[in-house]
Amino acid sequence: MSAQTRTRPYISSRFVLELDDGGSSQYMGTLQTIEGGTFKSEPLEEKVGGNGAVTKYPGRPKFEDVTIQVGMTMAPRFWRWLAKSFSYDAQRVDGSLVALDFDNKERWRRRFTNALIREVTFPTLDGAAKEPAYLTVKFAVETLKEEPSGNNKYPGEQQYKDEWERQRMWLPSMFTFKVDGISKDPAETCKIDSFSIKQEIIENPIGKFLENNKEPGRVDFPALAVTILQRDAGPWMKWWDELVREGKHIASQQHTGHIWFLPRDAVGSGQLQSKPLLTLDLFGLTILGIGPVKHDSKQLQLQKVKLDLACERIDLKGGHGTT
């Protein structure tokens, strides 16, 4: 092959997600990373004759889950896809993962069908953090196919309603956590450890079809590890005494909580004074444990308490800041 006709290697500098909507593919936003999506097959063995020979051939096609990292600049339809999965109304979607070069020209496209959310991981929220944060979203697909590049030219990131600037609006230090009837006002929370919401995906092989159908199963809502100041621990200790020590397992001992992800220019500590980028409403909250964070006399530090909380359901609401 001559140098003139040889395809040159390229570097992908930007990745985007597209989801179908009414027969057309719609841009959802820029992705930070893409992992998985491997094309696989388990080997099948067949013993032939009496000489010990073994014939091997591939079995059913399998497609590894796709994992992406996203910020707050995803389109509203993307947030609705996540929200439906949390509320036992899982929605299958078709779409594409697209890689662009430095000139925003399409270089490869991977088409997927009947995708279901498997897991959404929220990063650690920490008042001392300074770098932008991202959600990690894992989804299962029924089929995955590499399609010829369309040589499409995409607009620059800044042309999508200041997309890149809006991504920078989300810092893991800008958040508010509150439990109705327990938290003081203003509610000052030091840290919420990373947590994941998981949906079980059930494999359903059918007859002559090579690809397995996939069905949504139960949703597993996580326990939360929350760190607050020792001075604010009184109501939480009282809640634990009534619920656990005294065994008052009654509906009135369950509460509703909220996590608001705030833009970096939000004003006020522990108060919702501007539109949130994203809201998580926590239902059926109960307290499992409460205890001091390690004390060290050699360090000058604020005294803190760590809470272990369980919840029955989490609702997601996309807010201000999305494209």
- Please indicate, yes or no, if residue 106 is contained in any of the structural domains: yes
CA distance 279 to 80: 13
Handedness of CA 147, 149, 150, 154 (dihedral sign): positive
Question: Domain total for the chain?
Answer: 1
**Radius of gyration of the CA atoms of the chain, in A:** 24
- Please indicate, yes or no, if residue 165 is contained in any of the structural domains: yes
93-130 b/e (C-beta count within 10 Å ≥ 16 → b): bbbbbbbbeeebebbebbbbbebbbbbbbbbebbeebe
Spans in the chain with pLDDT lower than 50: 1-2, 158-159
- Please indicate, yes or no, if residue 127 is contained in any of the structural domains: yes
Handedness of CA 229, 234, 237, 239 (dihedral sign): negative
- Please indicate, yes or no, if residue 2 is contained in any of the structural domains: no
- Please indicate, yes or no, if residue 7 is contained in any of the structural domains: no
**Residues 93 and 20: beta-carbon distance below 8 Å:** yes
**Residues 94 and 115: beta-carbon distance below 8 Å:** yes
Per-residue pLDDT at 221: 96
- Please indicate, yes or no, if residue 207 is contained in any of the structural domains: yes
Verdict on whether the full-model pTM lies above 0.75: yes
- Please indicate, yes or no, if residue 173 is contained in any of the structural domains: yes
- Please indicate, yes or no, if residue 141 is contained in any of the structural domains: yes
Full residue range of the structural domain in which residue 148 is found: 14-318
